[in-house]
A and B are shown apart, each in its own frame.
Chain A
Amino acid sequence: MAVNCTAVRDRAVPLLHGQNLGALTAASSDDIFLSFNLGAEELAKLRLFGQVATPAVTSGNPLVAAPTRHVATLYAAWLAAGTWARLPRISRARLEALDPAYRTRTGATPTHLVEELEAGAMRVYPTPTANLTLLLIYLERRADVSTGSPTLAAEPPVADYLLYRAIGDARRRNADEGMADVAAFCDEQAQLYAALFRAYSGR
């Protein structure tokens, strides 16, 4: 199931008082797609977009690049003798308290995963002495949509959420034209959809 964001943009045109996309003054097509992408980033935080990755960890190097568009790891495991063994996540501060030499500690069996996302990486502890395969179940941000790539894999009501986000953003830019109340209305509708998505995506 996918949302065609070009169709959603076209729905926005008359609602923004445009006769057609070219004549639209409240927002450009790029503005509308920007709102879609900002909205999709918010949806990522509501656990709407899950993904699986199996990155390889090289012996002697504890760091592995975080998957592209990674938001948060939900579950991590490593492949131990053909079975996935859980790799609990731990904060860097807690690991440092447990083992001040955690950066240089080596071992054959990884016990923890530290998300060093400011560096776009994840650290396996202790530093593995053999090559490993990880399994990550994580939340991701979707790739940006654009006129050339307008499809967002999501359920149909997501289209309505994105529509309200785009109209709200456009009307906020034109708030001096008396459209602030429309922006507020659209924000309320987007919040309602977000509450609904949150209610059903928690499992």
Chain B
Amino acid sequence: MTFSAMRTEVLRRLGENPSTPVWYTAAEAGEALNEAHRLFALAALSVEKTATIALPAATPILASRPLLAAMLAPLRIYTAAGSRVRPASLETLAGRDSRFLNAEDEPRFYALVGGLLIVTPQPAAPLDLSVTYAASPTDMAADSSTPEIPDEDHGALIERAFYTLVSVKEGASRRTEAEPAQQAFVRAVEARAALVRSRALSMDYDTQPFELGRYFNGR
């Protein structure tokens, strides 16, 4: 579904004439769709990317944000030789080896905290790492652009955009009416997250999607 078609549908749901909207604008509908797109990908970890990063010699700490654009969570890291680099907390790395920042060998563990990628052991010579990660999708801007999440989930973005716009601009008066739209969005995220979770298990990924349904049920 194109961005233009989705915006039109959101405006219709809001009770606007899409060609001459009054209370809501097409730009607002577009922003709400992009926000829904980001939230969907964040909750379901459904947008995957792989990048190769160059690990310099004797550099155990790297700033990951400039290297891995819009990374939400790491999924799998391999060395160029095909060895898996496993996740660990910084505390675990320090507990295993009090001089872990000096150890030199092929990397076996990584910690990711606050945009810092800490790899140990550090390679003696520059080394490439292949990083598969869950990414935040690129914003839709052109009328013809389409979401990066699967086609069957595009409708959920319309539901969420409708829900958030009504709830923020009109408040409680229409929020009750829009609650089913939010529930539809959550169901779609959960269904996609279940598939991603299953794939993550089979691929031995390092991060599982958030349990959005459980989060709302627990409130």
A residues sitting closer than 8 Å to B (CB atoms) are: 1, 11, 14-15, 17, 47-52, 74-75, 77, 83-86, 135, 137, 139-140, 153, 155-157, 160, 163, 167, 178-179, 181-182, 185-186, 189, 192-193, 195-196, 199-203
Interface contacts beyond A11-B31, A155-B70, A181-B172: sample of 16 additional A-B pairs, CB < 8 Å, sorted by A:
A47-B114, A51-B116, A75-B91, A84-B101, A84-B102, A85-B98, A139-B113, A140-B114, A155-B71, A156-B136, A178-B171, A179-B171, A181-B175, A185-B168, A200-B210, A203-B88
Could you tell me the distance between the alpha carbons of A182 and B178 in the complex, rounded to whole angstroms?
A: 14
Known pairs A84-B102, A86-B98; A189 contacts B164 (CB<8 A): yes
Chain A hits for B65, CB < 8 A: 1, 153, 155
A61 to B61, CA, bound (A): 28
On chain B, the residues within 8 Å of A186 by CB distance are 168
With a CB–CB cut-off of 8 A, which chain B residues contact A163? 35
Binds A, one of B7-15, B37-45, B149-157, B195-203: B37-45
- Are A156 and B171 in contact, with the CB atoms below 8 A? no
Q: How far is the CB of B71 from chain A (nearest CB, A)?
A: 7
B188 at interface by CB-CB < 8 Å:
no
Chain B count of residues within 8 A CB distance of the other chain: 47
B111 at the interface (CB under 8 A from A): yes
| Docked-complex contact A85 and B70, CB < 8 angstroms | no
B→A interface (CB under 8 Å):
25, 27-28, 31, 35, 38-39, 42-43, 61, 65-66, 69-73, 87-91, 94, 98-99, 101-102, 111-116, 118, 136, 139, 164-165, 167-169, 171-172, 175, 207, 210, 215
Query: In the assembled complex, how far is the CB of residue B199 from the closest CB belonging to chain A, in whole angstroms?
Result: 17
Contacting residues, chain B, for A179 (C-beta < 8 A):
171
CA distance A195 to B101 in the complex (A): 31
Q: Specify which of A50, A51, A167, A179 lies most central, judged by the most chain B CB atoms within 10 Å of its CB.
A: A50
30 contacts between A and B (CB under 8 A): A1-B66, A1-B69, A1-B70, A14-B169, A15-B169, A17-B169, A49-B114, A50-B116, A51-B116, A75-B91, A75-B94, A86-B98, A153-B65, A155-B65, A155-B70, A157-B38, A157-B72, A160-B35, A167-B168, A181-B171, A182-B167, A185-B167, A185-B168, A185-B171, A189-B164, A192-B215, A193-B42, A200-B210, A203-B88, A203-B111
Identify the closest chain A residue to B27 (Cβ). Answer: A14
* B-side contacts of A195, CB under 8 Å: 210, 215
Residues of A within 8 Å of B31, CB to CB, are 11
Q: Closest approach, in angstroms, between the C-beta of A177 and any C-beta of chain B?
A: 10
A1 to B135, CA, bound (A): 11
